[in-house]
Amino acid sequence: MKIKEIIVVEGRDDTVAIKRAVDADTLETNGSAVGAAVIERIRLAQQRRGVIILTDPDYPGERIRHIVSQAIPGCKHAFLPKYEAVSKKGDDLGVENATPEAIKAALSHVKEEFVAVESDVFWQDLVYLGLIGGKKAKSRRERLGEILKIGYTNGKQLHKRLVMFQISKAEFTEAIKQVLEEEENE
C-alpha cells in the first residue's frame, strides 16, 4: 500500500511502525512540544503532497493533532483505537505498538478536515443520546469514535469533530444505533 501524503507521527518508533505497514514518508514531531520549524516542514508537506496526522490515541497525541491542524488547515486525519495501540505488556499506548494491519486499517479510513459552519447533528442530540453526561457517556463516545473512524473525544470535542469531518445526520444515526444495540446485547 503506497501512501501519497506525508504521515505526521510523534517519533522514530512510530515511523518504523508505519514503514512496516505501508510505503510512506513520515514527518516526526518529536513529542508534544511542536516547534515552529516542525510546523513549517509540515506546512510545506501539506502544500506539496498533503498530510495525514496519525498520533497516539492519548492526551499528548491529541494535543499534537490539535496544534498541527490549527496551524495548518486542511490536514487529513487517521485514528487508531486505543485497544489497537496498547503494548503487549499493557503499559504503553502508541502508534509504535500497533500491528501493520491496524495501521493499514486506520489509513484506509482517513478523514479529511473541512472548514464547516453548520452540522445537522446538534449538541442537544448528543445530550439526549447519552453521549454527554451520564454513566455510559464515555464508553458510548469511545465506541462511536471507533465506528465513525474519528477517534475518541470528550463531549465538546465530539461535536467539533462531527462538524470538522462533516459527519452527516444519517451516518451519525447509523453509528449511534449500532452503539446502543451493542449496549443492549451486552
Q: What is the mean pLDDT of residues 52-66?
A: 94
Strands (E), the chain: 2-9, 23-28, 51-53, 76-77, 111-112
**Residue 118: what pLDDT?**
60
Query: The cell 485497544 sits on which residue?
Result: 83
Check the CA dihedral 90-91-95-99 and report its sign. Answer: negative
**Residue 114: what pLDDT?**
66
**Residue 168: what pLDDT?**
87
Q: How far is CA 72 from CA 54, 69, 76, 157, in A?
A: 15, 5, 10, 18
CB contact set of 18 (below 8 Å; sequence gap of 6+): 7, 9, 24, 26, 54, 95, 103
**Residue 165: what pLDDT?**
84
For the domain made up of 1-113, give the CATH fold.
Dna Topoisomerase Vi A Subunit; Chain: A, domain 2 (3.40.1360)
Q: Would you list the domain boundaries of the chain?
A: 1-113, 115-186
129-183 confidence digits (pLDDT tens): 999 988 999 999 999 999 999 998 998 889 888 888 888 889 999 999 999 999 9
85-137 confidence digits (pLDDT tens): 998 888 889 999 999 999 999 999 998 876 555 668 888 889 999 999 889 99
- Write down the pTM of the prediction: 0.73
